[in-house]
Chain A
């Protein structure tokens, strides 16, 4: 797993973005950027060189599930690993995210260990598949 990879963190709460960024830095990932909802994240993804997307679900304007679908529908972005970090815990929602092609799903509140574990798992699979 590349510690130099560029990660976009999308959450409408700045506190949660800071928490995730701090945890990522703790795990050795220093190249991160933030967006406060899907509609600001999507142009950043399209015009940027991000390797990994971490997104919340429940956000104004464009929720995370729509962002995920937009990423999967974009020729350039479709293979980007996406981790959803959200308080949405309904069975239907998790199934929907899975069907939309999410790579990992973390329920808030979560621990630093869970985040590390899921990121490791995602990139194990990505690298095995590559």
Chain B
């Protein structure tokens, strides 16, 4: 783990600091102010180097996380082409459903007055027909009724054909459900894909970031393990002194 060598580095640093502090006490007691001041400066620099080491590590974590993000081609693909694509697809759904709704409404608006007309005329004719059957109608009236019936049959045939055509149109307008359904399924698939990839990214980043975060908590990881020993477990990931920190930071563009 990343934390162990760093902890051992810190322990080593603490030992060196303690040793220098003891020397500082001895120097001050012996009255050697110049040497004591130099030692105080040295102690300050040691603290700085620890800060730089931690900063360097955080920077590297960030760098790696960003690289992992850039390197994830699936996410790139989603971000660069599929999300804009999905927007277009959803716009298509809006346009298709709107078109179908208008097509249906147009057919209904044209058919309703015809249906109402047929009903009203049929009622009027039924009343006249009733009178005719009760022999309550003079010859002139019957001739007029006869003309009305002929006209009614003609317009009804035309209207029925128009209503049939409009109902066919309403039928065809329902094709939007299939077409938009396919598109919506694709977008749902994309959103699931995106979610899966983001969760993956969070997991990768979480593994990196969990180490510095865990460092502040008590536990095995934060226990000192003594000086770093080359070739031992965990020694590979430790910077070697200030030069190592500087090299690392310069590799990151510092």
Tell me which of A1-9, A65-73, A108-116 binds B: A108-116
Given contacts A58-B182, A87-B182, contact A15 B177 (CB under 8 A): yes
Bound-complex Cα distance A22 to B181 (A):
20
A residues within 8 A CB of B168? 26, 112
Closest CB in chain B relative to A111 CB, distance in Å: 7
| Contact between B177 and A13, CB atoms less than 8 A apart | yes
| Contact between B181 and A19, CB atoms less than 8 A apart | no
Main SS at interface, chain B: helix
Bound-complex Cα distance A22 to B172 (A):
10
Q: Indicate whether A95 reaches chain B with its CB closer than 8 angstroms.
A: no
Q: Indicate whether A34 reaches chain B with its CB closer than 8 angstroms.
A: no
Q: Indicate whether A36 reaches chain B with its CB closer than 8 angstroms.
A: no
Q: Indicate whether B37 reaches chain A with its CB closer than 8 angstroms.
A: no
Q: Indicate whether A126 reaches chain B with its CB closer than 8 angstroms.
A: no
Bound-complex Cα distance A8 to B216 (A):
69
| Contact between B172 and A13, CB atoms less than 8 A apart | no
A residues within 8 A CB of B157? none
| Contact between B182 and A109, CB atoms less than 8 A apart | no
| Contact between A15 and B178, CB atoms less than 8 A apart | yes
Closest CB in chain A relative to B65 CB, distance in Å: 37
For window 171-200 of B, CB contacts with A under 8 Å fall at 171-172, 174-179, 181-182
| Contact between B172 and A19, CB atoms less than 8 A apart | yes
For window 15-53 of A, CB contacts with B under 8 Å fall at 15-16, 18-19, 22-23, 26
Per-position contact with A for B130-166: 1 when CB-CB < 8 Å, else 0? 0000000000000000000000000000000000000
| Contact between A111 and B177, CB atoms less than 8 A apart | no
A residues within 8 A CB of B182? 13, 58, 87
| Contact between A13 and B171, CB atoms less than 8 A apart | no
| Contact between A112 and B172, CB atoms less than 8 A apart | yes
Bound-complex Cα distance A11 to B179 (A):
12
Closest CB in chain A relative to B214 CB, distance in Å: 45
A residues within 8 A CB of B181? 13
A residues within 8 A CB of B175? 15-16, 19, 108-110
Bound-complex Cα distance A11 to B168 (A):
20
Residue in A22, A23, A108, A112 whose CB lies within 8 Å of B179? A108
For window 74-132 of B, CB contacts with A under 8 Å fall at none
Chain B residues with CB under 8 Å of chain A are 168, 171-172, 174-179, 181-182
Chain A residues with CB under 8 Å of chain B are 11, 13, 15-16, 18-19, 22-23, 26, 58, 87, 108-112
Taking A13-B178, A26-B168 as given, write out 5 further A-B residue pairs in contact, using a Cβ cutoff of 8 Å, ordered by the A residue number: A13-B177, A15-B174, A19-B172, A87-B178, A109-B176
